[in-house]
Homo-oligomer: A and B are copies of this chain.
Amino acid sequence: MTLGPGYTPRQLQIDAARLNNTLHETCKWGCAHRWGDRPTETGMCRLALSDDDRKVRDWFVGETTRLGCSVTVDTMGNLFAIRAGKQGGAPTAMGSHLDTQPTGGRYDGILGVMSAVEALRTIHCAGYETEYPIAVVNWTNEEGARFSKSLHGSDVWSGGYTLKDAHALEDVARPGVTAASELERIGYDGGTPCSHWNNPLAAHFEVHIEQGPVLEAHRERIGVVQGGQAYKWFKIRIQGRDSHAGTTPFDYRADPMQAAARFLLMTHDVARSHNGLATTGIFRLEPGSVNTIPNHVEFTLDIRHVDDAVLSAMEAEMRARGEGLLQTDSRHQCTMTWEFLQDNSATHFNADCKAAVKEAALASVSPAEVREMVSGAGHDSCATSRTVPTAMIFVPCAGGVSHNPSEYATPEDCALGAQVLLDAALLYDSR
């Protein structure tokens, strides 16, 4: 194969069938929640550091090794499959995550890693020599579903979260089971420090389903992602007083379930009034008996806005109005505490990386099919962008549905995403 001084988009071409086969083949680990008759019509439940996550990691290590990479495992279990280039130095990375939501789909994260593996295969099979090393990265617990910190592995790597805090996080459903203990249990507690200082990358590219309805609604095929909206997570506890459901008049109650109901409606009011979002995805109460008013409820709050300042204003308003909601006419009052879980400020991607993605996109589709857009979700790229040049590629997904078993992207869109990823990474590498 003759190679010019730089790489030209589509000079190498990914194999669409091979990509889609691998994508679905590896979904056997964590396959769950059937919603249709065809073999691939299921969702996924592959929680970070579970047995199924271990199995797909084992596959990842074997496959990338076979494709000429050496694999580094860091202290957060992030996997870096690195293929040497003509020169040494930090690799240009293509990465995403293999963990899913408990009722997740087959694309969120998985498409990003499988596209990167397909890009690697294409490079390997063509005998193409990159200028610098390239890497395929699988980041640990991007979802934050099992351990309540999204971009868990990538954020430690980029310095936004300490390894100590990250290791100490507990399984949301199994107190005492930590990220550290699960890393050890599945054998992915690697020796390389989880840090961009010790284990640097030159850039990070990621393809992902949009997870929203915009591209599909406009019949567009590629999103050139400009950055991500800001979001914060909290765990909120309301303490009341357990008492008898049949003998305790309303004005003798301190009922944390009622206080929580008022609070949840208020968070939506506040979010709506700022054009932001608010969600409660985990909720528990104690002691849990039909005829006992609970003494305690705890729940999570996820709030989002494209603008950091507005997000802070939303939080402040929710805190203030939340306190007010506790002042009922009862003789007994509930009390409320907010535990901070994470704060992801708005992300703005790197101009060179965005330009590489746009150039790659325009080599495959028409300008009318390309949109510059902001991500509603957080991504590993939001973490890496704090330290290395980063950009992302979105492909449409059906109805904008994600974090749901029926999440779907067409094989053609998946292949197009992988091609744009390969082209963008090689453009970046060759300049």
Contacts and interface: CB of A to CB of B under 8 A. Distances in A.
Most buried by B among A148, A233, A241, A403: A403
Interface in A302-354: 302, 304, 341
Most buried by B among A255, A264, A271, A297: A264
B288 A243 contact: no
Interface in A192-232: 210-213, 229, 231
Contact of A213 (B231, B252, B290): B252
Nearest to A210: B247
B244 A402 contact: yes
Given A265-B261, A400-B252, A289 B247 contact: no
Contacts of A279: 245, 255, 290-291, 293
A265 B404 CA distance: 29
A201 to B, nearest CB: 25
Interface residues of A, number: 72
Interface in A396-411: 400-405
A145 B286 CA distance: 12
Interface in A262-298: 262, 264-265, 268, 271-272, 277, 279-295, 297
Interface of A: 101-103, 143-145, 148, 150, 172-173, 210-213, 229, 231, 233, 241-250, 252, 255, 257-258, 260-262, 264-265, 268, 271-272, 277, 279-295, 297, 300, 302, 304, 341, 375-378, 400-405
The 9 A-B residue pairs with the shortest CB-CB distance in the complex, in nearest-first order: A245-B279, A247-B376, A102-B287, A212-B247, A145-B289, A261-B261, A211-B247, A261-B264, A246-B377
Given A245-B279, A282-B290, A291-B302, 8 more contacts: A172-B289, A243-B404, A246-B376, A246-B378, A261-B261, A261-B265, A281-B291, A283-B283
